[in-house]
Structure 1
Amino acid sequence: MDIRKIDDSISVTPQITYADVAEAAKLGFKTLVANRPDQEEFGQPPMADIEAAAIENGMAWVYMPVESGNIVDADVERFGAMIRESEKPVLAFCRSGTRCTVLWALNAARTTPAEEIFTKARGAGYDISGLAPRMAQQANNQ
């Protein structure tokens, strides 16, 4: 598992397995978020298995699938509400972790300066500089 910490409230990771969930729980994650649609790719673990592992390991489970390359404002709204309401720290996953990072960044852009968001994302290994125009739009949606 390749966990990448964005800040104290959220980390992201590429696709996890059933076995990875126990490790995430041992590392102290309280909420597990799936931003990847079930059966998005052949061979991907079923979300029902990941959900069962989260519950078995005492983690809250949030299934919030978002189509890659098609993140709409409603997705950003739902993700922001989830972050505010979930027990932290949160571990979010998708195919590569990028989708989760983009959701976080677009939501954060409403209250946080863009450069701070870019720095946190780079620290986690994601270059989201191409989101600058959309982040500016989100900043206006406060």
Structure 2
Amino acid sequence: MKELPGNVFVSGQLMPAQIQVLAEQGVKSVINNRPDQEAPLQPLSEEMEAAAEAASLGYLHIPMSAGLTPDLIAASIKAFESAPRPIVVFCASGRRSTVLWAFAHIDQLGIDAVMQAMSDAGYQLEQIRNPLMEFAARDRTC
């Protein structure tokens, strides 16, 4: 797992058996950004949710499959604002989860801090700098 600011940890695919270990390490919430049946042998969201419930962890499924959408970003912002921390967020490699974390934290941290945090975590995502800047500059009066 790689650490991001805000008591957030990003990971590749987790398995249900790992959820109890995360709870024992103090994790309070899990966010799954992986769509069901994306790959063979991948656990379904309902299996991950059952494991989280058994471990008394919060669980959210916010699948990202075909790219960023306003609804996906809004759901991620809400999740990061409301989920008890520490949070573990995962997808296949951690890359999509890191992108969603960036959009959810851009207003709070600013572009340079978000870009640096992603880089420090091992994700070279310079290609999202402009979309992040556009998102941060959006008109919020509507």
TM-score, with length taken from structure 2:
0.91
2:62 is the alignment partner of 1:71: no
Once the two structures are TM-superposed, the CA of residue 8 in structure 1 deviates from its matched residue by 3.4
Supply the distance in 2 between the matched residues of 1:137 and 1:71 (Cα, whole angstroms): 13
SS at match of 1:52: helix
The code of the aligned residue for 1:82 comes to: A
Supply the distance in 2 between the matched residues of 1:20 and 1:123 (Cα, whole angstroms): 25
The code of the aligned residue for 1:20 comes to: Q
Q: How does 1:34-53 map to 2 (within 5 A)?
A: 34-53=32-51
The code of the aligned residue for 1:136 comes to: M
| 94, 114, 128: which one aligns with 1:117 | 114
SS at match of 2:30: strand
SS at match of 1:36: coil
2:34 is the alignment partner of 1:13: no
Q: Deviations over 1:68-115 (max 9, x none)?
A: 5x1112211110111111111111110111101001112222332211
Q: How does 1:1-142 map to 2 (within 5 A)?
A: 3-68=1-66, 70-141=67-138
Supply the distance in 2 between the matched residues of 1:111 and 1:87 (Cα, whole angstroms): 17
Whether the 8 Å CA contact 1:29–1:91 is kept in 2: the answer is yes
Over aligned residues, Cα RMSD in angstroms? Answer: 1.3
% identical equivalent positions: 24
Supply the distance in 1 between the matched residues of 2:5 and 2:131 (Cα, whole angstroms): 21
Q: Deviations over 1:15-72 (max 9, x none)?
A: 001111111111111011111011111121122221111011110111111115x111
SS at match of 2:31: strand
Aligned length: 139
Name structure 2 gaps, 5 residues minimum: none
The code of the aligned residue for 2:33 comes to: N
TM-score, with length taken from structure 1:
0.91
Name structure 1 gaps, 5 residues minimum: none
The code of the aligned residue for 1:18 comes to: P
The code of the aligned residue for 1:101 comes to: T
